[in-house]
Amino acid sequence: MLNYLRKLIPDTHPIRLFYHKVMSTMAAIAYWFPADKMIVIGVTGTNGKTTVTNLTTNILIEAGHKVGMISTINFQIGAKKWVNTTKQTTFGAFKLQKILREMVREDCKYLVLEVSSHAITQSRLIGVNVDIGVVTNITPDHVEYHGGFNNYLDAKGGLFEKVVNGKPKFGVSKTLISNQDDKYFTFFNQFDAERKMSYGFDDATLHVSGLEGDLSGSRFILHLPDGEMPVNFKMPGDYNVYNALAASSVAAALQVPLGTIRDGLEKSDSVSGRFEHVNCGQEFDVVVDYAHAPESLEALLEMYKERTPGRLFAVFGATGGGRDKGKRPRMGEVADKHADYIVLTDDDPYEEDEWEIIENIAPGIKRNEGRDFWKIPDRREAIRLALTMAGKGDTVVVAGKGCEEVMKLRGKTIEWNDRKVIEELLERKVKINL
């Protein structure tokens, strides 16, 4: 019956959206608007939200503040940390307000909240007065859900609208922070607030110079409005430098001292499931990453291709459930361009046929199956093949799920963690080779 109603009234139907507004309003009232008791930082965008959320939290903790955080992969309330196993970026209204009330009870001064386009469209942030809005970057994502890219872009802009229209709180200016190097910077820059900041690689409010990097991380000079300082950042890739700039912008808006910003960045390790290297004594690199869209997958493969002396293996799939089928062949094109060996496999098929998803990706791969290209729906067997073939100097990239703890397969939720599976397979491989 429930599935029938969902088909009859789609997710973006006005009745559904009105229902979400009512529930969000009731939830905020039921928990006495806890977000009003904290300074709220909302982070949206297509890629990098989780990393920016975690980096911002680390800097604020380094500054001596008690922080509550909600991200796609983890939660934090003061010293308490735990894993997000819900596969939701932003909770439903009642669950969200409940955890915000718990943060208030624990005397958290700041809330750092990762905000999805779904959450904005479904009004889950009603009753959450956002003080600082941050956008990382925009590329096509969830386009089918939103009914077009422009609707997706407008949904992301909804976070900035919340900041602009929110009631001011004592001690913090309503602030908008945008990526000046992003294609859609002009769209976000049109919103007007008490304070606007930009970040980028060149002439922005916060920018960098002298950038150098390798797989161990990046070194650069961070330029802020009130000074500059060298930073030795442990996360590799230019896009992580952008993430560091976004988090530093929030800290600068909150008047965190320069040295504290630097210390917060330098003490931050890679976020779990993002550029996560798995080492069990093998002679090749294995990397787990959340990249699940053409742009993020290309950035990931391009970086490791440049830094891999041997061969590059790419193991990945695409999310099911009707999500953005149009991006699937483009992901195939990206892998075909950068990877020496490709293994297509399951990601989160949901109720979709696993083979159909793989066959949607395959047209972008212009090579014959069976030599340097395979289709293996069973993700464990796909990873096993790549690990078995890899040798000294090679890199195996397993993309799409990052540190997720479950997989949605044929309507069921099964336990799954890429890193744990890889460790198990690697330990067997290393023992056999001893």
- Number of alpha carbons in the 13 Å side-chain half-sphere of residue 245: 36
**pLDDT of 84:** 83
pLDDT tens-digit map of 87-135? 666 677 899 999 999 999 999 999 999 999 888 988 889 999 999 999 9
166 and 308 part of one domain: no
423 and 337 part of one domain: yes
**pLDDT of 248:** 98
Considering the domain boundaries, does residue 178 fall inside one? yes
Average pLDDT over residues 168-192: 96
**pLDDT of 214:** 86
Q: What is the CA radius of gyration of the chain?
A: 22
Considering the domain boundaries, does residue 150 fall inside one? yes
167 and 203 part of one domain: yes
Residue reference for tokens 């965190």: 256
314 and 359 part of one domain: yes
257 and 281 part of one domain: no
Considering the domain boundaries, does residue 419 fall inside one? yes
259 and 281 part of one domain: no
pLDDT range class, residue 357, cuts 50, 70, 90: very high
How far is Cα 381 from Cα 368, in angstroms, rounded to an integer?
20
pLDDT tens-digit map of 231-288? 999 998 898 999 999 999 999 999 999 999 999 999 998 788 888 999 999 999 999 9
How far is Cα 173 from Cα 92, in angstroms, rounded to an integer?
28
pLDDT range class, residue 312, cuts 50, 70, 90: very high
Q: Please check the confidence at residue 12 and state whether its pLDDT lies above 90.
A: no
CB 219 within 8 A of CB 213: yes
Who contacts 155 (Cβ-Cβ below 8 Å, separation ≥6)?
Answer: 117, 118, 120, 121, 146
pLDDT range class, residue 434, cuts 50, 70, 90: very low
- The closest of 159, 161, 163, 143 to 151, measured between CA atoms, is 143
**Residue 185 is encoded by which pair of tokens?**
């910077």
Characterize the bridge pairing of strands 285-289 and 276-277: antiparallel
CB 110 within 8 A of CB 65: yes
**pLDDT of 10:** 64
Phi then psi for residue 7, to 5 deg, are -70, -35
Worst-scoring range by mean pLDDT, 252-261, 268-277, 348-357, 396-405? 268-277
Q: Please check the confidence at residue 1 and state whether its pLDDT lies above 50.
A: no
Considering the domain boundaries, does residue 147 fall inside one? yes
Domain-ending residue, one of 213, 247, 266: 266
For residue 376, give its domain range: 276-433
Domain-ending residue, one of 212, 236, 266: 266
- Higher confidence at residue 315 or residue 226? 315
Considering the domain boundaries, does residue 271 fall inside one? no
How far is Cα 432 from Cα 426, in angstroms, rounded to an integer?
10
- Higher confidence at residue 16 or residue 172? 172
**pLDDT of 2:** 44
CB 9 within 8 A of CB 15: yes
DSSP string covering 132-177: EEEE------SHHHHTSHHHHHHHHHHHHHHHHHSPPBTTB--EEE
18 and 85 part of one domain: yes
Residue reference for tokens 């735990």: 82
Distances (CA, A) of 110 to 35, 107, 257, 333: 9, 9, 17, 42
| CATH number, residue 363 | 3.90.190.20
- Number of alpha carbons in the 13 Å side-chain half-sphere of residue 86: 14
| CATH number, residue 205 | 3.40.1190.10
- The per-residue pLDDT of the chain, averaged, comes to 91
**pLDDT of 178:** 98
- Domain count along the chain: 2
